[in-house]
Structure 1
Amino acid sequence: MEIRHATAADLEALAEVEGECFPKAEAATAEEFAGRVKYYGNHFWLMFDGDRLVSFVDGFVTDAADLTDEMYAKAELHQEDGAWQMIFGVNTLPAYRKHGYAGELLKAAIADAKEQGRKGLVLTCKDRLLHYYAKFGFKNEGVSGSTHGGVTWYQMRLTF
């Protein structure tokens, strides 16, 4: 398995994997990924099985302490020298789940954020995944202000 950052050549694969992992109302499109990769392709951690994208983690960096819905839509809000690494998505194709691939990518994102001198990482998730992210040191801060996709999200934070 190869791990690398995203380039414009990955847009269709990113949208395909995202579409298999999230309902349509929550999934980013290739067009949305184009903006994200343009502004912060180095904050995507992609895992490939041969030439097939099987898992990825992405998100931008900001000084804002909380993850907001506006961040998903406005890639230009990325601040390369920001304090917090936001995580917008943790995606693994169904056939590749339960092998630790998403965990490897999360660990890579955590290590990079630490090395870059960030305060930590912030993500939102559904209640059924709270225990999963807790294994990596994320603490549940309660219901998020996010209403992305019309779903209840919980904000979790890992502080260094």
Structure 2
Amino acid sequence: MPALGFRNAVLSDAVRCFQIESTAYEGDEAATLEKISTRIAQYPQGFLVLEQAGEIVGFINSGCAFEVAMADEAFKELVGHAADAPNVVIMSVVVDPARQGQGHARRLMDEFVARMRALGKRSIHLMCKAQHVPLYERMGYRYVRPSPSEHGGMAWHEMLMTL
């Protein structure tokens, strides 16, 4: 298997990340190219990409907040984001569908958590679909509650990891 590498995203990665996001997520739940570009530009240290043989195969992107409101749709455009806030909110954990099932999501999450700890963050929050709750529990997240968010017309569940 060609070597894997992690790095923070740069603006020129936005199109590839958008391609992955739009093929991995259903309907309206995928972020637009504009949102992905905004996330890279405003918080590159919270936008981690995984590369294999020089190609992006997956990524995690996030923002930070002093008070977390998981159903806040404006936060997906980083409205209210503060890089120095202690609470991380993950907006996407995504692996190219052609590369899924190879442990990439776990590798991404392990590296992301280590980087957030190194930045002195206190917690990581995310929302996921019901079928992914056990996966995130195995990664160290605790189930919080069903989310009031109706993002993309889907049912979501809030998860939390205390660092």
> Would you say same fold, with TM above 0.5?
yes
The residue aligned with 2:88 is 85
1:130-141 paired onto structure 2 within 5 Å: 130-141=133-144
Provide the C-alpha distance between the structure 2 equivalents of 1:158 and 1:66, rounded to a whole number of angstroms. 15
CA distance in 2, matches of 1:26, 1:14: 14
Corresponding residue number in structure 2 for 1:6: 9
Could you tell me how far apart the structure 2 residues matched to 1:38 and 1:19 are? 19
- Pick one of 71, 75, 79 that aligns with 1:71: 75
C-alpha separation in 1, matches of 2:108 and 2:73: 23
TM-score by length of 1: 0.94
1:140-159 correspondence to structure 2 within 5 Å: 140-159=143-162
Aligned residues of 1:66 and 1:122 also touching (Cα < 8 A): no
Aligned partner of residue 82 in structure 1, secondary structure:
coil
Letter in 2 for 1:71: F
RMSD: 1.2
Q: CA deviation at 1:76?
A: 4.2
Kept after mapping to 2: 8 A contact 1:19/1:27: yes
Runs of 4+ in 1 over 3 A off after TM superposition: none
| 1:35-46 → structure 2 map (5 Å cutoff) | 35-46=38-49
In terms of mean alpha carbon deviation, does 8-17 or 98-107 score higher? 98-107
Over residues 54-80 of structure 1, what are the superposed CA-to-partner deviations in whole Å (9 max), with x where a residue is unaligned? 1111111111233222211x3242211
Q: Identity across aligned pairs (percent)?
A: 24
Equivalent residue in structure 1 for 2:56, among 53, 57, 64: 53
Matched, 1:99 2:102: yes
TM-score by length of structure 2 reads: 0.92
Q: Which runs of 5+ in 1 are unaligned?
A: none
Q: Match of 2:25?
A: 22
Does 60-69 or 130-139 show the bigger shift? 60-69
The answer to whether the Cα contact below 8 Å between 1:11 and 1:30 also exists between their aligned partners in 2 is yes
SS in 2 for 1:156: strand
Mapped partners of 2:53, 2:33: distance in 1: 21
Q: Report SS of the residue matched to 1:88.
A: strand
Instruction: Give the residue type in structure 2 aligned to 1:64.
Output: E
Q: Tell me the distance in 2 between the aligned counterparts of 1:109 and 1:84.
A: 14
